[in-house]
Structure 1
């Protein structure tokens, strides 16, 4: 909306006569008071407008301002790299083992598609200055229905990703301490399930925190963690006598859906800097190639499970893999918690509402992790059904609707339509294969 500017006082400098008498005020200006556009993020997990963290996708004007000094560019680049750097890197050798050498082309295709749709999201933002979150784009394109679909898809994605963190912790701790077993009231608990329960107790207090600043600083080390894991894996192969002797398969048609689903999981964020995508894609490709050369078709769902635990380089990689999810777990659940608390906070005390929301939510992820402790299959499902949808399909659909280019056939419409169709194909086939794989493990 627009409001009339206040008349300057005598102490204020006199305004120029040619300045407009009315100024623009965004919707929900009270909610946004004290915040600028940079306070809103379009990265996983911070996809909602009420989480105060650095934006990765910015408007054109802000990008021009940021490019004025190098420090802002470096900071933006680091935030973009951190948004893309995650635990998905440990599953890339397994993805290549599923699809073969030529599946690496699909990694480049997914990276290019995610980069392009990031630009589409930016264009959607530029059409309306009141758009501050991904759900706003869905609302602008398809109304309340679009907003609900985007919100559900994003929340389910971060929920299952957080569940994957617990499985990751359980698998790696069980690999380090394979003889740890529990028996409670006559019930035998495997080491993996036991460690999932133990880690959940460690993480639970972080879920009660109202201020996530400390955790966000730790989770911002995602770039460093990825470099450490990559370096440790290379050291294990080159120095610790594992070697790079595996030849692997050129192409495995049956494993392609799983491979491309895991690749999609790695690109669930949307920084628009080409440099961020290029560096992360190079890192992902190196990890996939190194792991596949080391273990071939025997690559586990996490490369850390293949590394010998008696070597220092392996322990560095494993411990680095263990630390990051502990810091990121509560951050990933934050968007879901904020949505729930916003609906019930008026009926309950804020502290009570927070406790009653966060604790059951975390307990539910523990149950899912215990019932479906299949990291590779679950992350493949997340990548196909949710990451491909939020990163590729939805941005294309929203851009087609907001821009109106669907009304006329042109080069841009063909390109966007092709990317949209590709996202749908990945979602359909990848989801089917992932479900079949999960059911076969039950």
Structure 2
């Protein structure tokens, strides 16, 4: 009995000391602690739906800047991209370990409290909520800017002679379109919206390939390494994997939380493949002439350009509900 109690106290004293892998290569999971985790609203998202949500959360409009990132740092900067992806995957597994360490941990601020106490909780919550709020606002502004370029001069008369026009009108319309997705309390259902976002990302890459084959072709050259541009490349690579704030939400929504690491691995590999393919193709097509967003290089009036622009509009809307989920919770 004493040995059992001593063992239990030791496990409680250092819950974060668990190894990521045992000697046999199997992950250590405390099933009792796992079962105590409070679900995010309605837990029960399957493995495939969790993969859709997590992949959609990670894969964002940062893909448009990948060719520019390679042009700034050169081909060898892709090694930094691989390193950043590996680091972000590892830190994602650390988040899962933190959530397994204590049955009360269900959000990112809970992780902050577990690590640094009440001050840590307040600090993490402040930065996380501000970041998610600003990203959500930037998505609406992005929609307004792009739609105003596609359909300039639009306007509508409201009551009391007030008129909405241009970007303001499109921001309001984008908000109206995205609002129903924020009512989906179950992340299993929200996975269908995430699937649309992944289709949009894939269509964007296909449009880029289409442009290269039918227009300028592939140059097959470029800088091997540009040390002066590496900081820019590194910053853009980190932006591509900046989805950690919603990891606890997706983890808590899963039916089988033990498989979160597999979900994270699958999503990271899929996003890395899409990012890397877009980076290589964009740089091969446009070389050092590639612009900060590769869609700006596409010639106007072409069908693939229109598809790329529409996919760029759809992509942020499919991520909006995932981003605001921690705030609304």
2:23 is aligned to none
Distance in 1 of aligned mates of 2:54 and 2:137: 24
In structure 2, the residue matched to 1:354 is none
Q: Which residue of 1 aligns with 2:202?
A: 227
- Structure 1 counterpart SS, 2:128: helix
Aligned to 2:111: 137
Give the superposition deviation at 1:170: 4.3
Question: 2:152 matched to 1:198?
Answer: no
Partners of 2:143 and 2:291 in 1: CA distance: 15
Tell me the equivalent position of 2:57: 83
Kindly indicate whether the alpha-carbon contact (under 8 Å) linking 1:87 and 1:321 is maintained by their aligned counterparts in 2: yes
Task: Give the structure 1 partner of residue 290 of structure 2.
Answer: 299
Deviation of residue 181 (structure 1)? 5.5
3-state SS of paired residue (1:131): coil
Separation in structure 1 between the aligned mates of residue 63 and residue 277 of structure 2, nearest angstrom:
10
1:216 touches 1:328 (CA, 8 Å); kept in 2?
Answer: no
The aligned counterpart of 1:345 is none
Deviations for 1:143-198, whole angstroms, at most 9, x for unmatched residues? 11111121122122222322332343345335545xx3589xxxxxxxxxx75323
TM-score (norm 2): 0.70
After superposing on structure 2, the runs of 4+ consecutive aligned residues of structure 1 that deviate more than 6 Å are none
How many matched pairs? 270
1:321-357 CA distance string (max 9 Å, x none)? 112323433553443455xxxxxxxxxxxxxxxxxxx
> Where does the alignment leave 5 or more consecutive residues of structure 2 unmatched?
1-31, 156-164, 248-259
Deviations 1:282-309 (Å, cap 9, x if unpaired)? 1110001111112222322222222123
* Aligned partner of residue 300 in structure 2, secondary structure: coil
The aligned runs of 1:11-410 (5 Å cut-off) are 37=37, 39-40=39-40, 72-173=46-147, 175-176=149-150, 180=152, 195-205=166-176, 211-212=183-184, 217-238=192-213, 240-245=214-219, 247-269=221-243, 270=247, 272-273=261-262, 274-329=265-320, 331-338=322-329
Larger Rg: 1 or 2?
A: 1
Change (3 A) 1:327 1:80: closer
TM-score by structure 1 length?
0.54
8 Å CA contact 1:237–1:294 kept in 2: the answer is: yes
Separation (CA, whole Å) in 1 of partners of 2:43 and 2:170: 26
CA distance in 2, matches of 1:136, 1:181: 47
Distance 2:107 2:119 in 1: 16
Change (3 A) 1:336 1:127: closer
Q: Which has the higher helix share?
A: 2
RMSD: 3.3
Do the aligned partners of 1:215 and 1:328 also contact (CA within 8 Å) in 2? no
Contact 1:218 1:324 in 2 (8 A): no
> Deviation at 1:219?
3.8
C-alpha contact 1:95 1:263 (8 A) present in aligned 2? yes
Check the 8 A contact 1:96/1:103 in 2, yes or no: yes
Tell me how far 1:242 sits from its aligned partner.
Answer: 2.5
Return closer, same or farther for 1:223/1:207 CA change in 2, 3 Å cut-off. closer
Alpha-carbon deviation of 1:97? 2.3
- The alpha-carbon deviation at position 36 of structure 1 amounts to 7.9
Q: Is the 8 A contact 2:70 2:77 kept in 1?
A: yes
Shift in Å at residue 319 of structure 1? 0.5
* Shift of residue 52, structure 1, vs aligned partner: 5.1
- Deviation per CA, 1:235-288: give whole Å up to 9, x if none: 1111x2121226332222232222212211111235633232122111110001
